[in-house]
């Protein structure tokens, strides 16, 4: 491609709203443009990157035996009502009505559609197992579209679905995808972890793993053991929790203490000269509209996903001030378990505390010497909190948990029969008996991967594309296009490289060298060849974007180097 013909503008500055590096660089280097919040245009360079990711996906998925198909974005909402997700999915589902007043949704995912398809197509066990996938645009009206391609409202996803007759079969299909995902993310050059995850709104009975590209700006927190391979999303992570136990055996009866103006754990610990580990923190939630109290140690955070799962609730929200006041009879900040007549969910660390300070359910008062079990019910004990850095790993003897940030680039689920039961997708087994198909589903954020790669591959000058993903492999830059010798050598090289199948971007623009080099740094192609003052001696400069290893080589040497350079294949 000649840069004089390339539709691409680089920008000196990124728009102010672009906060994360990948968003800024993709805009500045001219790979994407925003149309509306969370909705992007892929410019020619960006599209080539996206297509490179797609190529890797197709290659590995075909290798894993999956069939590509393409399903529509428009989905009748009846399907969503049948599966029971119409209400659960909430406002993220974009709904619209056609001229006949029939309601449709813009597909945020395709479990319903693909299950309906299989219901019609699969009759006999002989047709199973089968796995299908598509690379297709998804729509989700995200509450906070942000970070460019990382959280869009319209984005490209690869979604795959497996259909089996047995759980063993599902395990095999799942494993095949899990392995394919490892190869895909490796080939994309990502540093990633497969982590145990929570099943979330999509549901299902089996296991689920998320694939996290490690990055400081990631929205997800993952707990990783320093010793064994254990890694889990914080939503799910457990530790061999260490528990703080206080001295003394008999705890005196609890006692109310006046704590004027003390609302937070910090204020409480300063006022009473105690530590957060001495506090039993009580939070009031509404689970499907009904108040519940969750009690965790003062230095711990409630894990709402764990609470929601324990209650089997569809929604869980922290209660508003008025609800808290009507439930506890006190201002916010003074809730405690004693005297509450709503379900108490007690974190298992709390029941091992010998005593604690709690709110008194009376404004400006707390209670000391509160003993779990003695002073309040410990009927509902469970794991309701987030693990913390340095806690002991629950899987091995030696390891400690580290918390790191990640971007979820992929997700694999064992769905079981959730959708096939709801939508009656059945097959006839060898005895002629109807059975529900056992399903798995597997997603990859194709456009999100592009941003995740840039988060991991950049420097202060711009993007540093991994070769497999780069829009072109070589940036060929004659310093002055008006110099006949330079232009001729550049044109010859351009032809020679293209002849051996190398994608080259030839900067044939009549621009100053500084402009060309800045653009080239920003765009970040793996190899740069500069045809400059040494052209008269038949030499050009060869440099790899990631190495800064400038070398003067003859034209033949350059072609040879690129042709044989394995890492640029
Ligand atoms: P998240 O927790 O980030 O919202 P999710 O759990 O809703 O993700 P899935 O329903 O599992 O995501 O979708 C499959 C994949 O699609 C995700 O692993 C992610 O890579 C990608 N993805 C999900 N939402 C978005 C989005 N709004 N923009 C870009 N990619 C997305
Ligand atoms: Mg989501």
3-state SS class at 449: helix
Give, in order, the Cα–Cα distances in Å from 406 to each of 179, 370, 410, 447, 505: 20, 39, 11, 16, 33
Edge to edge, the sheet with strand 365-370 lists: 255-258, 365-370, 356-359
Query: What distance in angstroms lies between residue 185's CA and the mean position of ligand 1's atoms?
Result: 16
Q: Is the CB of 142 under 6 A from ligand 1?
A: yes
Q: Whose CA is nearest to atom 3 of ligand 1?
A: 408
Q: Is pLDDT at 332 greater than 80 in this prediction?
A: yes
User: By the 8 A CB rule, do 266 and 280 touch?
Assistant: no
DSSP for 179-218, please give it. Answer: HHHHHHHHHTT--EEEEE---GGG--SS-EEEEEEE-TT-
Handedness of CA 209, 210, 216, 222 (dihedral sign): negative
d(CA 3, CA 391) in angstroms, rounded, equals 54
CA distance 335 to 349: 19
| All structural domains of the chain with their residue ranges | 22-238+403-454, 255-382, 472-568
Establish whether residue 38 lines the binding site of ligand 1, counting it when its CB lies within 6 angstroms of any ligand atom: no
140 close to ligand 1 (CB < 6 Angstrom): yes
Please check the confidence at residue 136 and state whether its pLDDT lies above 90. Answer: yes
pLDDT of residue 203: 52
Give the β-pairing of 356-359 and 103-106.
unpaired
- Is residue 204 over pLDDT 60? no
pLDDT, tens digit (0-9, with 9 covering 90-100), for 7-58: 999 999 998 889 999 999 999 999 999 999 999 999 999 999 999 999 999 9
204 lines ligand 1 (CB under 6 A): no
Residue ID of nearest Cα to ligand 1 atom 23 = 445
Q: How far is the CA of 200 from the centre of ligand 2 (A)?
A: 9
CATH topology of domain 22-238+403-454: BirA Bifunctional Protein; domain 2 (3.30.930)
409 lines ligand 1 (CB under 6 A): yes
Nearest alpha-carbon partner for 206 in 42, 393, 414 = 414
Alpha carbons 272 and 254: distance in angstroms, whole number: 15
**333 touches ligand 1 (CB under 6 Å):** no
Judged by its nearest atom, the ligand closest to the C-alpha of residue 209 is 1
- Residue 200: its pLDDT value, please? 64
Q: What is the pLDDT of residues 364-386, one digit of tens each?
A: 999 999 999 999 999 899 999 99
Nearest CA among 143, 153, 136, 156 for reference residue 38? 153
CATH number for the region 255-382 comes to 3.90.960.10
Do 391 and 242 form a contact (C-beta atoms < 8 A)? yes
Q: pLDDT at residue 243 above 70?
A: no
SS3 (DSSP) at 22: helix
Taking alpha carbons only, the member of 290, 292, 264 closest to residue 279 is 264
Q: How far is the CA of 112 from the centre of ligand 2 (A)?
A: 17
Residue whose CA is at the smallest distance from ligand 1 atom 26: 151
CATH node for 472-568 = 3.40.50.800
**Residue 482 predicted with pLDDT over 90:** yes
Nearest atom within ligand 1 for CA of residue 140: 27
Nearest CA to ligand 1 atom 1: 408
Rounded distance from Cα 152 to ligand 1 centre (Å): 9
The string of pLDDT tens digits covering residues 351-362 is: 888 899 999 999
Enclosing H/E stretch for 161: strand 154-164
Q: Residue 201: its pLDDT value, please?
A: 53
pLDDT per residue over 385-416, tens digit each?
Answer: 999 999 999 899 899 999 999 999 999 999 99
Average confidence (pLDDT) over 431-435: 97
Q: Whose CA is nearest to atom 27 of ligand 1?
A: 151
Mutation to probe ligand 1, out of 157, 190, 208, 441 (largest number of atoms < 8 A from CB): 157
Q: Which atom of ligand 1 is closest in space to residue 145's alpha carbon?
A: 27
User: On the CB side of 149, how many CA atoms lie within 13 Å of its CA?
Assistant: 31
- Is the pLDDT assigned to residue 85 strictly greater than 60? yes
> Chain-wide mean pLDDT for the chain?
94
Distance, CA 213 to ligand 1 centroid (Å)?
13
Rounded distance between C-alpha atoms, residue 499 and residue 492, angstroms: 11
Cα separation, 474 vs 499, whole angstroms:
13
Residue 112 Cα to ligand 1 middle (Å): 17
Pull the structure tokens for residue 441.
Answer: 């589903």
Which protein residue has the closest C-alpha to ligand 1 atom 31? 445
pTM (2 d.p.): 0.88
- Sign of the alpha-carbon dihedral angle for 380, 382, 385, 390: positive
**What mean pLDDT is predicted for residues 474-497?**
96
């Amino acid at each position: 491609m000649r840069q004089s013909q390339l539709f691409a503008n680089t920008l000196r500055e990124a728009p102010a709203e672009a906060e994360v590096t990948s968003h800024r660089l993709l805009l500045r280097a001219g790979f994407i443009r925003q149309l509306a919040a969370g909705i992007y245009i892929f410019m020619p360079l960006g599209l080539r990157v996206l297509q490179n990711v797609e190529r890797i996906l197709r290659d590995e998925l075909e290798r894993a035996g999956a069939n590509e198909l393409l399903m529509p974005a428009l989905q009748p909402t009846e399907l969503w009502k049948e599966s029971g997700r119409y209400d659960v999915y909430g406002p993220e589902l974009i709904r619209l009505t056609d001229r006949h007043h029939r309601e449709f949704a813009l597909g945020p995912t395709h479990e319903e559609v693909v299950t309906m398809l299989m219901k019609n197509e699969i009759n006999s066990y002989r047709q199973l197992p089968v796995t299908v996938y598509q690379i297709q645009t998804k729509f989700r009206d995200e509450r906070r579209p942000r970070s460019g391609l990382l959280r869009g409202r319209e984005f490209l996803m690869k979604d795959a679905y497996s259909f089996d007759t047995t759980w063993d079969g599902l395990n095999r299909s799942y494993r095949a995808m899990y392995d394919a995902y490892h190869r895909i993310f490796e080939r994309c050059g990502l540093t990633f972890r497969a982590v145990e995850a929570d099943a979330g709104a999509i549901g299902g009975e089996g296991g689920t793993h998320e694939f996290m590209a490690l990055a400081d700006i990631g929205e997800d927190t993952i707990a990783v053991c320093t010793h064994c391979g254990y890694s889990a999303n914080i939503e799910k992570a457990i530790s061999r929790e260490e528990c703080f136990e206080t001295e003394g055996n008999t705890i005196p009866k609890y006692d109310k203490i006046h704590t004027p103006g003390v609302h937070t754990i910090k204020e409480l610990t300063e006022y009473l000269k105690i530590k957060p580990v001495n506090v039993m923190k009580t939070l009031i939630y509404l689970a499907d509209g009904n108040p519940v109290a969750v009690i965790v140690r003062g230095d711990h955070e409630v894990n709402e996903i764990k609470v929601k799962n324990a209650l089997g609730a569809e929604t869980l929200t922290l209660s508003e001030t008025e609800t808290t006041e009507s439930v506890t009879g006190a201002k916010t900040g003074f809730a405690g378990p004693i005297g509450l007549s709503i379900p108490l969910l007690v974190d298992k660390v709390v029941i091992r505390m010998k005593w604690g300070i709690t709110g008194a359910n009376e404004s400006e008062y707390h209670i000391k010497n509160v003993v779990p079990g003695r002073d309040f019910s410990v009927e509902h004990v469970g794991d309701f909190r987030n693990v913390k850095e340095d806690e002991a790993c629950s899987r091995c003897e030696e390891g400690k948990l580290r918390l790191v940030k990640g971007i979820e680039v992929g997700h694999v689920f064992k769905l079981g029969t959730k959708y096939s039961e709801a939508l009656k997708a059945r097959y006839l087994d060898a005895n002629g008996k109807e059975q529900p198909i056992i399903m798995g589903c597997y997603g990859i954020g194709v456009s999100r991967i592009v941003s995740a790669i840039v988060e991991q591959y950049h420097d202060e000058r711009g993007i540093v594309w991994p070769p497999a993903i780069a829009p072109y492999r070589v940036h060929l830059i004659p310093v002055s296009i008006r110099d006949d010798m330079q232009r001729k050598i550049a044109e010859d090289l351009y032809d020679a490289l293209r002849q051996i199948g190398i994608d080259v971007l030839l900067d044939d623009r009549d621009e100053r060298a500084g402009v060309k080099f800045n653009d080239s740094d920003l765009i970040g192609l793996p190899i740069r060849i500069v045809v400059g003052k040494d052209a008269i001696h038949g030499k050009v400069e060869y440099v790899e974007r990631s190495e800064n290893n400038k070398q003067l080589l003859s034209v033949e040497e350059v072609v040879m180097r690129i042709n044989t350079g394995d890492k640029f294949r």
